[in-house]
Structure 1
Amino acid sequence: MDDTMTRDGARPWATDGSDLAFRRPVVLTARSRTGVVLKKLLPVISIATFLVILEIIGRLELSSVVPPVTEAVGTFFELLEGGHLEQFTVSLQALGMGFGLALVLGLAVGTLTTVSRTLDYVLEPYINGFMSMPTSALIPVLMLIFGLGQTTRVVVVFLYAFFMIVVNTQAGLRQVDPAHAEMARAFGAKGTTYLRFVTIPTALPLILTGLRLGVSRALKGMINSETIISVTGIGALIIRFGRTFDVSGLYAVILIIIVMAVLLTSLIRIVETKTGRWLA
């Protein structure tokens, strides 16, 4: 029998004992490989083109609010190496503590309100209300309650992320198909087995989406609270550079925020990819 193998090392045929079943081998042409590579490079090309345009505008001084990109990047490293490390540490502490609390309590409340309809009816107005209203409107009230210290920042970060995690956890857990659940129980699935093969595969994608959106909102909460309080942290640097018209410093701080956002969301995307392979 022919021992021809496909590119992935598997034979393009398989036998089931009576009939011969053929599988078409997957072959990537040069054109398709070029298309795949181009799709991966398009975001890089787009960003590089945008940065070159900004550099040209800054060098030619076509706009007073657009500095050269190289100057902003230089200020970026100066901020990291200078005496502003304490400002970043304060901001990261508030972000970590607030999002950590939102993660734990958000998953817990989302799960409990899915299991208990009574608890869901009790908390639903509050969840919907806080999801709809602009959380920044609560910052002055929180300042009156907790003062101008780190506690206010942590609470603001928590509120920005908590309800997003709750809503996505509820949506994920409620997507379990009743027919699949009934079939799994008919075959004796219960406890950890039911959780592993029914609940988690269905709910996890939406839960991880909630975490990704939650960490983005947590970062917004950190910046918003610090720009309003404007005592310490990254938000205080934004206010200071804005008041002194230090455009390069302002863009450098914005660049730091963008890097933080990309790193945090990329980390959760990696978790999504790993868990997707595990569930598969």
Structure 2
Amino acid sequence: MTLFGHRVPMMSSLLVWCLLWELIGRLDLMFLVPPFTAVLAAMVELVQSRQFLAATAITLRSFAVGMALAIVVGVALGVLMGRFRAADRLLGMWVNLFVSAPLSALVPILMILFGLGDTTIIATVFMFAVWIIVLDTQAGVKHISGSLVEMSKSFGAKPRDVYLKILLWAALPEILAGIRLGMIRGVKGVVIGQLLVSVIGYGELFELYSRNFLMERFWALTILVFAFAILVSELVGAIEKRIEYYAGVRQ
């Protein structure tokens, strides 16, 4: 970004927003917005508390299990829809429907099915993440040239080898893109699920802080959740950049 002929780091905009936040907090214009420095101080205290560490363990476990299931099921369905037109016609409408649907409205149904516990949160993460993984995997498989598959068969590749050694590797750029987007949606799912359940993990903390107007801790926890979403996205994005060459050799 360039300003008055000088190159300004991208982080400068973040610093401007932090200064505005601090100013609004110091002026005491809204009790819901405490000074940013107070939020940072609360964050230091928060990350050292046993309550936060316990909630983090619960949240990460639910997120990891839900994402693992979403990746396995999403990649499998995406490959199936990319390879077989009948599967695409049968499942495509439903996948596109769930990608665009307000999935938060379905969480109460999951609560009825699985109760107020980890299983509901895992199911919520899975529901939020799986559909975009399916679509991106399908797109990657469809970009693979049929001659590549035929060549592998001519060299004696078995059907299992075609899927594991040809299709998955050739579609890897799109699969990782879907996983990256799925992880962002999964973070949204784990937070929304815990907020609606309100008895475990970060949802319990958000409920506690908002009900008691502990806004410094509320915003500190919000920033930590945002930071986690950005971190997982950047980690998968870094892996994407390292395997971009697969996209150029799949024709």
Does the TM-score normalized on the shorter chain lie above 0.5?
A: yes
Match of 1:156 among 106, 113, 124: 124
Match of 1:185 among 151, 171, 176: 151
Q: Is contact 1:176–1:199 with CA below 8 Å preserved after alignment?
A: no
**Counterpart in the other structure of 1:269:** 237
> How many Å separate the matches in 2 of 1:127 and 1:72?
40
3-state SS of 1:231 partner: coil
**Counterpart in the other structure of 2:15:** 48
- Deviation at residue 107 of structure 1 after TM alignment: 0.6
> How many Å separate the matches in 2 of 1:111 and 1:278?
17
**Closer, same or farther in 2 for the Cα pair 1:241/1:129, shift >3 Å?**
same
1:197-248 CA-to-partner distances (Å, cap 9, x unmatched) read 88745x3332222111100100010011111110011122112211111111
Give, as a single letter, the amino acid of the residue that structure 1 aligns with 2:17: F
> How many Å separate the matches in 2 of 1:79 and 1:248?
10
Match of 2:142 among 174, 177, 184: 174
Q: Is contact 1:184–1:194 with CA below 8 Å preserved after alignment?
A: no
1:150-199 CA-to-partner distances (Å, cap 9, x unmatched) read 00100010010011100111111112355xx379839x677469987887
Asked if residue 219 in structure 1 is aligned to residue 162 in structure 2, the reply is no
> How many Å separate the matches in 2 of 1:83 and 1:145?
31
**Counterpart in the other structure of 1:119:** 87
Q: Is contact 2:149–2:162 with CA below 8 Å preserved after alignment?
A: no
Q: Is contact 1:184–1:198 with CA below 8 Å preserved after alignment?
A: no
Runs (5+) with no aligned partner, structure 1:
1-34
3-state SS of 2:79 partner: helix
Q: Is contact 2:39–2:220 with CA below 8 Å preserved after alignment?
A: yes
Give the aligned length: 240
Which stretch shifts more, 121-130 or 61-70? 121-130
| TM-score, normalising length: structure 1 | 0.77
**Counterpart in the other structure of 1:232:** 200
Query: Which one has a bigger Cα radius of gyration?
Result: 1
> How many Å separate the matches in 1 of 2:168 and 2:118?
38
Identical positions, percent: 33
> How many Å separate the matches in 2 of 1:142 and 1:123?
21
> How many Å separate the matches in 1 of 2:38 and 2:245?
43
> How many Å separate the matches in 1 of 2:195 and 2:143?
39
> How many Å separate the matches in 1 of 2:163 and 2:202?
45
| TM-score, normalising length: structure 2 | 0.85
Asked if residue 71 in structure 1 is aligned to residue 32 in structure 2, the reply is no
Give, as a single letter, the amino acid of the residue that structure 1 aligns with 2:19: V
> How many Å separate the matches in 1 of 2:86 and 2:129?
24
Q: Which is bigger in relative contact order (C-alpha 8 A, separation at least 6)?
A: 2
> How many Å separate the matches in 1 of 2:224 and 2:62?
16
Q: Is contact 1:55–1:68 with CA below 8 Å preserved after alignment?
A: yes
**Counterpart in the other structure of 2:70:** 102
What RMSD over aligned residues (CA atoms) do the two structures have, in Å? 2.8
**Closer, same or farther in 2 for the Cα pair 1:229/1:83, shift >3 Å?**
same
